[in-house]
């Protein structure tokens, strides 16, 4: 009997990333959260929504 191995390829989930300006206009954040994002996000980087929320939480924990 011969053994057959199956290779299962899993599709990688592509997480959309946004620059600071796009996140500041997103309706997913309150006005307070937008103000926090203005301070904590860097201009030349891109962030997923989860990363942006994480940065907000880090800021809130620090104060």
Where exactly are the structural domains of the chain? 18-62
Query: Taking the model in full, what pTM does it have?
Result: 0.78
In a 13 Å sphere around the CA of 13, the CA atoms on its Cβ side amount to: 2
Whole-angstrom CA distances from 47 to 2, 16, 18, 37, 39 are: 49, 8, 5, 11, 14
Predicted local distance difference test score (pLDDT) of residue 2: 61
| Spans in the chain with pLDDT lower than 50 | none
């Amino acid at each position: 009997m011969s053994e057959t191995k199956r290779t299962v390829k899993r599709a990688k989930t592509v997480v959309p990333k946004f620059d600071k300006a796009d996140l500041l206009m997103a309706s997913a954040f309150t006005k307070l959260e937008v103000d926090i994002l203005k301070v904590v996000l860097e201009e030349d980087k891109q962030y997923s929504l989860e990363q942006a929320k994480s940065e907000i939480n880090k800021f809130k924990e620090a104060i």
